[in-house]
Amino acid sequence: MTPAASMLGVMQLLVVQLAAFEALLLFASGLHKMIRRERIRAVVREFAGVPYRIAPFAVAAVALLELLASLLLWAPTTRMAGGILAVLIWGGYLGLILRAIAQDKRDVDCGCTFGAAQRPLGAFQVARNVTLTGVALLVAAGSAALATGPVVAPQILPALVLLALYGALDQVMALMPPRAGEML
């Protein structure tokens, strides 16, 4: 096997693995919005600025979009569309976080965590959403450029491990007090 062929195989595997991680995270996020509707409705009103009467519909729409993106990411034929939808979702959240920071509303609940712990908006939330948007962009572009295959059973465990690490990092960062003079 030539080095170029093995690199292509690694890239194909990476795209599929990252797609599985994003799919699991988006599924968990959509499910979280459906289970914790009251908290998320408050988030949509306070963080996103959606009027009270429309908030339940906005929560349902976003949850359905996350679930749709999750489903699209599993199959090779729809993975690029799922990646593009994931880019739009994560990019939208990033825009809302940056807007809140610019308006000096750092203490607002962004609904970014699955748990109850919350930390003022700052560099971690920005970096997390830039990373998730970048991963989704890599999945979309990789799916368009490479002949990727389906997610197979051995790839689900590493995706679950990435999801667990994501959740653990999220909880650790929620416990850490912000440093004095933190810029973002």
* Per-residue pLDDT tens digits for 83-140: 999 999 999 999 999 999 999 988 888 888 776 656 788 898 999 999 999 999 999 9
Q: Is 7 contained in some domain?
A: no
Asked if residue 109 is part of any domain, the answer here is yes
Closest by CA position to 126, among listed 103, 93, 104: 93
In a domain, 4, yes or no: no
Q: What is the tens place of the pLDDT at every residue in 143-180?
A: 888 777 778 777 888 889 999 999 888 888 777 665 55
Note the pLDDT of residue 19. Answer: 95
Q: How confident is the model at residue 14 (pLDDT cuts 50, 70, 90)?
A: confident
Position 83 scores a pLDDT of 97
- Asked whether residue 3 is assigned to any structural domain, the reply reads no
Structurally, how many domains does the chain consist of?
1
Higher local confidence (pLDDT), 183 or 126: 126
Average pLDDT over residues 58-77: 95
Q: What is the 3-state secondary structure (H, E, C) of the chain?
A: CCHHHHHHHHHHHHHHHHHHHHHHHHHHHHHHHHHCHHHHHHHHHHCCCCCCCCHHHHHHHHHHHHHHHHHHHHCCCCHHHHHHHHHHHHHHHHHHHHHHHHCCCCCCCCCCCCCCCCCCCCHHHHHHHHHHHHHHHHHHHHHHHCCCCCCCHHHHHHHHHHHHHHHHHHHHHHHCCCCCCCCC
Residue 181 has pLDDT above 60, yes or no: no
Residue-number span of the structural domain to which 77 is assigned: 13-175
pLDDT for res 71? 97
In a domain, 154, yes or no: yes
| Amino acid 152: pLDDT | 78
Q: Is residue 171 part of a domain?
A: yes
Residue 183 domain flag: no
In a domain, 30, yes or no: yes
Whether the predicted pLDDT of 82 surpasses 90: yes
pLDDT digits (tens, 9 = 90+) for 22-56: 999 999 999 999 998 888 898 889 888 999 899 99
